[in-house]
């Protein structure tokens, strides 16, 4: 049940038609797993905690470095050398004490992915590795868990919501792994911030059951010229993960 503090904290979002008290209860009961505690994961975790998600699991194996601090907003100078999940969890606990945050300092692999995501209602892809994305996609498709993908490059980004058995999966979109970029990729902090916030909006709509999702569509953002465009995604009938099978989205 919502507490008096919940009603005061979340009053403004509960005013939204179609969300209300029932929507807030659903967020409080939800478990969201965020894969990655970096440029995308930090703002995603921040806004989901602010929204009142009851349980957030953060998964990341890396430690904080100075070069992270132009975009990874939950990590500060005195966190350099700490595990990212430890640094992020400490800030989130202060931001919203009513949200339970579980840090997992590990890489997501074929051997642990299904175990790590098994209790999640939604998984947020905030990784920077195609290998991790393929593993997450396969685990989510197997478990029937929605996956909200986000990716960034410089001032460009993309978001889509993948619904098992209803939309093309990540392996349909990228049947072959793109060629690896040599060296650290360019990124402005504003780009993962914007993309992560769109991912959060998708998560909230999934959990509360309202609005129109980016399901079967990819939203592309180019901040250099402020171009936002939607593209329809096609299922791959030969996909080894989902087989291109999908039901009609209503």
Domain harbouring 131, CATH code: 3.40.50.720
Backbone angles phi, psi at 220, to 5 degrees: -105, 135
**Residue % of the chain over a pLDDT of 70:** 98
Query: Which of 159, 232, 237 has the alpha carbon at shortest distance from 200?
Result: 159
- Give a yes or no: residue 237 inside a domain: no
Q: Is the pLDDT of residue 111 over 90?
A: yes
Q: Is the pLDDT of residue 158 over 50?
A: yes
Per the structure, the count of domains in the chain is: 1
- Give a yes or no: residue 100 inside a domain: yes
Q: What is the mean pLDDT of the chain?
A: 95
* pLDDT band (50, 70, 90) for residue 248: very low
- Give a yes or no: residue 97 inside a domain: yes
- pLDDT, tens digit, 9 for 90 and up, residues 42-80: 999 999 999 999 999 999 999 999 999 999 999 999 999
- Give a yes or no: residue 244 inside a domain: no
Beta-sheet strands, E only, within 46-196: 55-59, 100-104, 122-125, 147-153, 156-162
Please give the distance of CA 56 from its chain centroid, rounded to a whole number: 11
- Give a yes or no: residue 161 inside a domain: yes
**Residue % of the chain over a pLDDT of 90:** 94
Q: Give yes or no for a contact between 39 and 186, defined as CB atoms under 8 angstroms apart.
A: no
Instruction: Give CA separation, 141 vs 5, 49, 56, 133, 155, in Å.
Output: 37, 25, 20, 12, 30
Q: What is the pTM of this model?
A: 0.96
- Give a yes or no: residue 248 inside a domain: no
At residue 247, the pLDDT reads 57
- Give a yes or no: residue 87 inside a domain: yes
Domain carrying residue 17: 4-232
- Give a yes or no: residue 239 inside a domain: no
């Amino acid at each position: 049940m919502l507490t008096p503090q919940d009603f005061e904290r979340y009053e403004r979002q509960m005013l939204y038609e179609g969300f209300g008290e029932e929507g807030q209860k659903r967020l409080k009961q939800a478990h969201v797993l965020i894969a990655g505690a970096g440029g995308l994961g930090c703002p995603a975790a921040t806004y989901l905690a602010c929204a009142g998600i009851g349980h957030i699991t953060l998964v990341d194996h890396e430690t904080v470095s100075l070069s992270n601090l132009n975009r990874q907003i939950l990590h500060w100078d005195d966190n350099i050398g700490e595990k990212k999940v430890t640094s992020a969890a400490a800030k989130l606990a202060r931001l919203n004490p009513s949200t339970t945050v579980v840090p997992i300092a590990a890489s997501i692999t074929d051997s642990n992915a299904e175990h790590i995501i098994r209790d999640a209602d939604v998984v947020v892809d905030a990784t920077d590795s195609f290998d991790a994305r393929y593993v997450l996609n396969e685990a989510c498709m197997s478990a029937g868990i929605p996956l909200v993908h986000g990716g960034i490059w410089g001032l460009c980004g993309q978001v889509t919501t993948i619904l098992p058995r209803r939309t093309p999966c990540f392996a349909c979109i990228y049947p072959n792994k793109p060629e690896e970029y040599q060296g650290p990729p360019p990124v402005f902090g504003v780009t993962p911030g914007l993309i992560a916030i769109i991912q959060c909006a998708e998560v909230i709509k999934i959990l509360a059951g309202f609005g129109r999702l980016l399901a079967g569509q990819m939203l592309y953002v180019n901040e250099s010229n402020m171009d936002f465009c939607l593209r329809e995604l096609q299922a791959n009938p030969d996909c080894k993960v989902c087989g291109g099978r999908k039901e009609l989205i209503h």
